[in-house]
Structure 1
């Protein structure tokens, strides 16, 4: 399978998820190490820092000098700084390149890709990223992409939290909730986050997305420490994220 003009090699913890790609001609690697040996450009998209560390510990032992490692997961910026240093020692180019846009944008090839790393690594990765990116930005050194992603997602969470509070306020004032949704979508209070929230039959319908946003808000809090800015974003998003994940106060 040639994806965007490139031969595609795939690996996943759940082999059944690879079946559609293998059916189209992709090569399934038997292990992470085999993937690292075979590929010149490796993109990782797993859940958190621990998962990225586990995968990279295996890859960095076998990837060839001059190859490139791209982290599409959303993790701590400091984790990417440490990975970049390890890659430099091994002669491997490194980028943190978290993405935004969800499954629809991935299928359409219009993801936003936020990159941190050396200019040389960015130029090397750019032709591959352009096969699935609508917006592709180099933001600075290793970790910069992660910083941008967690700020973006914390803002998304805060905006959804404000949408949650605004519609509760409308109901308290005697306004029909559905009518308020339609009004705000056509008025100055609208936003992408509000439109996402307005489509939800109940906050728990966003449970999976809320768990990911909550993780990213936690990453921002860890990166900023006891900052008033982090506190404000956390407070704006907290009630909605807890409601979406079914947590009780």
Structure 2
């Protein structure tokens, strides 16, 4: 029997609504629309939980141990999984060796000993280089899994999924939204694209750092969702910035207006984040991430629907550029918030 996560039901352990499963019915999609419950007291339905239990004891390989990937890898190790890594920098290799991880000499060597290979690198070229040119996919065992946590083009995910399938390897696009801090708090969002059975199989690994796991569709769908999410993020930052400018022009204290919006129906995460963006180094870090993702989104997402987002996204990037200069201080800077919230600067690797 197949299951689909398609209903809301009361979860007695936590006394509130959470997603529950029902048997698939005629007319349902072939894949399960899965919002995996990861709240205390919730569990997967027996069929999916049985599939997911196959993740226990998996050997995990990880490449890309920076601001985002580093905390994710640490949490996988803390979750009791056999973790191996490959890194270019000696100090990173030494750090993970001290933490008990196995250090591979090459990406292909790492792939050969991994049931699940996680990539959290910068872009399309990096992913292709590791998987194809450096032979990671060719070295992987039958039915092993590649997890793409990087933010790349959906078309790249689709092409690599086909390339992997020809070699009996399963490739999933699993972009995340959150931060290094969120990974350490087990509250990351993981968006999933690809084979549903493979997703169920790796749930125990994802649970090491995720608070919400959402099935988006087939190969590339999760990457499209991530690009839309980040497109909205930069637009919301621009709107929050302009709202504070408008309030100041109307004689309103920007700090008071921010608190009002956060408590009102106009609230957005960007209005919370914008105070932390008053720190130029932090604004520069966020700008670097979102400038890349906006370019990918405007290139890869369907037209004409994406066209209306172009001026809004550019306005958001322009607001970040102003914040990078430190020349427009609408709110007191919050350096204490540097280790909290979205786009955290965790460390370098």
TM-score (norm 2): 0.66
The answer to whether the Cα contact below 8 Å between 2:183 and 2:209 also exists between their aligned partners in 1 is yes
Question: What residue is the counterpart of 2:307 in the other structure?
Answer: 228
Match of 1:124 in 2: 201
- 3-state SS, counterpart of residue 143 of structure 2: coil
**Cα offset, 1:185, TM superposition:** 2.8
Q: Deviation per CA, 1:107-165, whole angstroms, max 9, x where unpaired? A: 12221110100122212222221222110111111101101101111111111110111
Equivalent runs, 1:77-116 vs 2, <5 Å: 77-116=154-193
- 1:72 equivalent to 2:149? Answer yes
The residue that corresponds to 1:242 in the other structure is 321
The reply on whether 1:40 has 2:115 as its aligned counterpart is yes
Deviates more, 1:17-26 or 1:58-67: 17-26
Are residue 27 (structure 1) and residue 102 (structure 2) matched? Answer: yes
Give the TM-score normalised by the residue count of structure 1: 0.90
- The question of 1:190 aligning with 2:267 is answered yes
Residues 135-144 or 191-200, more deviating: 191-200
Distance 1:32 1:117, change over 3 A: same
Number of the residue aligned with 1:12: 87
RMSD over aligned CA atoms reads: 2.1
- Cα distance between partner residues in 1 of 2:213 and 2:311: 29
- Structure with the bigger percentage of helix: 1
CA deviation after TM superposition for structure 1 residue 60, in Å: 1.3
Q: Structure 2 regions of 5+ residues with no counterpart?
A: 1-75, 326-349
Deviation at 1:244, TM superposition (A): 4.3
The alpha carbon displacement at 1:38 in A equals 1.3
Instruction: Give the CA deviation at 1:188.
Output: 2.9
| Cα shift readout 1:46-66 (whole Å, capped 9, x = no counterpart) | 011111111111211211111
Contact 2:276 2:282 in 1 (8 A): no
User: Are 1:204 and 1:244, in contact at CA under 8 Å, matched by a contact in 2?
Assistant: no
1:2 is displaced (CA, Å) by 4.7
- The separation in 2 between residues aligned to 1:232 and 1:108, in whole angstroms, is 35
The alignment of Structure 1 onto Structure 2 pairs a total of residues equal to 247
Instruction: Select the structure with the greater relative contact order (CA < 8 A; seq sep ≥ 6).
Output: 2
CA distance in 2, matches of 1:203, 1:168: 18
Q: Is the 8 A contact 1:203 1:240 kept in 2?
A: no
For the Cα contact (< 8 Å) 1:220–1:230, is it kept in 2? no
1:103-182 aligned within 5 A: 103-182=180-259
Change (3 A) 1:193 1:2: closer
Q: CA offset at residue 187 of structure 1? A: 3.0
Larger Rg: 2
